[in-house]
Amino acid sequence: MAGVTDTVFRRLIRAQGGCGLLMTEFTSSHGVVAAGKAKKPTKTFRYLYFRPEERPISAQLFGSDPVVMAEAARVCEDFGFDIVDINFGCPVNKVVKCNGGSGLLRDLPLVEQILRQVRAAISIPLTMKFRAGWNDRDLVYVKMARLAEDCGLQGVALHPRTREQGYSGCSDWTRIAEVKAAVKIPVIGNGDVNSPEDAVRMMRESGCDAVMIGRAASSNPWIFRQIQEFLATGTYYHPPERERYTLMRTYYDMLIERREADAAGKMKQFATYFTHGVRNGSTLRAAIYCEKDPAAILGVVEQFFARELEAVA
């Protein structure tokens, strides 16, 4: 979720209700250490910035140097995070080439060194997210979970695709069930949860203790609230088009208020997510992409929804 789950998006999610734990964008451990030593705010510092209303919140780190990872975790604890999470799941080439993310699934002894040194460095809870393995010929998900438990982690999250799969194919939730059966610490399931029905089915089929949602929340920030309602009542809220406009307007206002350096770029990026399911959404996206100024983009959004909402009134 790099480039998505910044403080503005997290606060937007929190405001919709239903989400138990928020997590930062995954952040370089080397960058975090540099940010901790810097005398002025760095780009990485912006990744770690959060407001009190975002709690509980976890700092998500990646890296392959145990000493640097431990120091980065200490910095995150000093910044006030509730949890530190280590990412062993990212499949992106530039991360894997540095032996970060899912690249470390090929070196479990190094994983153990990282976990033990980070666990010893902080007093707040430590968790990790990982994939099933590098490929289907080298599956390590049960070994990874047991290693986490042995090293004193408070929980694990499994995305059951391999690094080789990327985001293709389907998540094999039976692998989550295997991890749940192998350890006593909490197990979080992740992958292909696109609706409240999916979340309930994952928990039923795998026995996982919680569900982690990433990409689906970008286009449906209400999904956490919907899951909560579905569990309680068997039905859930479907936001009308007017609420999509309100959400989009709120997010854009928050970007402008924070004076994001690339507010216009963020607006264009999230236009793709937020217009999902909006009538004539492609027309709105095209108009937004043509603008360069945040205020002009906001004007395009207001004019579009004024016409569309009047048409269905």
159 in helix, strand or coil?
A: strand
Q: What percent of the chain clears pLDDT 70, i.e. is strictly above it?
A: 98
Confidence of residue 310 (pLDDT cuts 50, 70, 90): confident
99-112 confidence digits (pLDDT tens):
889 999 999 999 99
181 in helix, strand or coil?
A: helix
pLDDT at 120: 98
**Same structural domain for residues 168 and 222?**
yes
Query: For this structure, is 76 an active site residue?
Result: no
Of 233, 257, 274, the residue that ends a domain is 233
Least confident of 83-87, 137-141, 268-272: 268-272
pLDDT at 80: 96
Cα angle 69, 82, 98 (rounded to 5 degrees) comes to 25
pLDDT at 260: 73
pLDDT at 39: 64
Confidence of residue 312 (pLDDT cuts 50, 70, 90): low
Of 233, 253, 270, the residue that ends a domain is 233
Give yes or no for a contact between 60 and 25, defined as CB atoms under 8 angstroms apart: yes
22-39 confidence digits (pLDDT tens):
999 999 999 999 988 876
Q: What is the pTM of this model?
A: 0.92
Assigned domain for 2 exists: no
**Same structural domain for residues 15 and 135?**
yes
**Same structural domain for residues 164 and 45?**
yes
Q: d(Cα 189, Cα 87) in Å, to the nearest integer?
A: 14
Give yes or no for a contact between 222 and 240, defined as CB atoms under 8 angstroms apart: no
CATH code, domain with 206: 3.20.20.70
Maximal CA-CA distance, the chain:
62
Of 233, 251, 274, the residue that ends a domain is 233
**Same structural domain for residues 64 and 107?**
yes
Residue 313 reports pLDDT greater than 60: no
192-219: average pLDDT: 96
Domain of residue 259 covers 241-312
If one compares 145 and 258, the residue with the highest pLDDT of the two is: 145
Into how many domains does the chain fold?
Answer: 2
**Same structural domain for residues 220 and 267?**
no
**Same structural domain for residues 88 and 127?**
yes
213-239: average pLDDT: 94
Assigned domain for 224 exists: yes
Residue 261 reports pLDDT greater than 80: no
Q: Which of 19, 76, 90, 151 is catalytic?
A: 90
